[in-house]
């Protein structure tokens, strides 16, 4: 599959960017280029993305401080 790298300039845009990637048939990789992130913020954004009916993938990638992280869809969030 494809991965679409997005660098949102506002943490509130993460879900929208993930949905855009999904609409194009790609899994999303969100970067921290313009964001101040910690694990709690990432988990909150992941939950928002998993709950979205528009994100059709089971993986979210994050590039944080030069480290690529992979998050898999928890069973409690059914795939749309």
pLDDT bracket for residue 1 (50, 70, 90): confident
Tens digit of pLDDT for each residue in 4-32? Answer: 999 999 999 999 999 999 999 999 999 99
Q: Among 4, 46, 1, which Cα is nearest to 28's?
A: 4
Listed residue (49, 41, 51) closest to 76, CA to CA: 51
Mean per-residue pLDDT, 43-51:
97
pLDDT over threshold 90, residue 59: yes
Report the Cα–Cα distance between both ends of the chain, in Å, rounded: 18
SS3 56: coil
The whole model's pTM is what?
Answer: 0.93
């Amino acid at each position: 599959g494809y991965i679409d790298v997005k660098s949102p300039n506002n943490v509130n845009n993460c879900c929208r960017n993930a949905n855009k990637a999904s609409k194009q048939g790609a899994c999303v990789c969100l970067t921290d280029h313009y964001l101040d992130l910690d694990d709690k913020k990432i988990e909150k954004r992941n939950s928002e993305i998993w709950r979205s009916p528009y994100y059709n993938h089971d993986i979210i990638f994050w590039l944080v401080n030069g480290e690529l992280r992979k998050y898999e869809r928890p069973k409690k969030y059914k795939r749309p």
